Amino acid sequence: MIHRLALIAFLICPIITSLSQSDANTPVKPRKGRPNIPGTIMVDFGLNFPFNTPPDFTTGVWGSRTVNLYYFVDKRIGNSKFSVHPGAGFGLERYKFTNNYTLAFGTVPETQDRVFMVPTTLDVSKSMLISNYFDALMDFRFTVNPSDPNRSFKVSLGIKGGYLFDSGTKLRYREDGETKRLKDKQNWNLSPFRYAATFRIGIGNFSLFATYNINPVFEKGLGPGQADFNNFTTGISLAAF
């Protein structure tokens, strides 16, 4: 998985970078001691908070996490304090269940296309739903001192759309004195596309972020309990280059 993501990122970053051309009318102080790469690599570390979920879809705070790896192009609007930042990258999400439940499709013809939360008979220590996306983003940012963004206060609103390229469930359990892992890779009726609103606020290369998924986590009427629930993510962001 990591090798595939690295290869895709290697192919995509030059394409996005080619869209970024320096504007002679909007000088920015060079970033001392750092590579002169046009744009910004950002890493998000967040916690997922699904809401309006069915009773059996119970998740833990620390185990339900998000890691995003994004590359943004920085385009200042004239000599103003506003800028736009198109970007792309990967959003890796985890939902850790706090009970011994996992996902399963219905077993009778009427429900075979639906997903349910079902208990397991195993000695489970971890049960998790995994969903990985390729995201395209657009941030609209206000920077107090755009000539020195590495030390300036900034706030941004944005939107992003994602495509689900990998998903599955994972169980870790004990059997016959051994720790075993069971993975089931399929889409589990997760929404193949996601749309979200984003917010960031911070100083320099450190910020806090929040993301609200506009569309449900699962396809309408096909998820656990046939409930159409959404997800909210919040955490910290670290920028490099």
- Residues 211 and 230 sit within 8 Å (Cβ to Cβ): no
Please report the pLDDT score of residue 38 as a whole number. Answer: 75
Q: For the chain, how far is it from start to end, CA to CA, in angstroms? A: 25
- Interval 114-125: pLDDT, tens: 999 999 988 999
Residues in Cβ contact with 172 at an 8 Å cutoff, skipping those fewer than 6 apart: 124, 125, 126, 127, 179, 180, 181
Rg (the chain; Cα; Å) = 20
- Interval 196-210: pLDDT, tens: 999 999 999 999 999
* CA pair distance 109, 96, nearest whole angstrom: 29
Please report the pLDDT score of residue 100 as a whole number. Answer: 87
**106 strand-pairing partners:** none
Domain 39-240 has CATH 2.40.160: yes
* CA pair distance 171, 159, nearest whole angstrom: 33
Q: SS3 string of 124-186?
A: EEEEEEEEEEEEEEEEEEEECCCCCCCCCEEEEEEEEEEEEEEEEEEEEEEECCEEEEEEECC
pTM: 0.82
- Residues 9 and 90 sit within 8 Å (Cβ to Cβ): yes
Alpha-carbon distances, residue 77 vs 83, 143, 147, 158 (angstroms):
5, 11, 13, 16
What integer is the mean pLDDT of 74-97?
96
CA pseudo-torsion sign 32, 84, 69, 238: positive
Domain ranges for the chain: 39-240
pLDDT band at residue 35 under the 50/70/90 scheme: low
Please report the pLDDT score of residue 36 as a whole number. Answer: 60
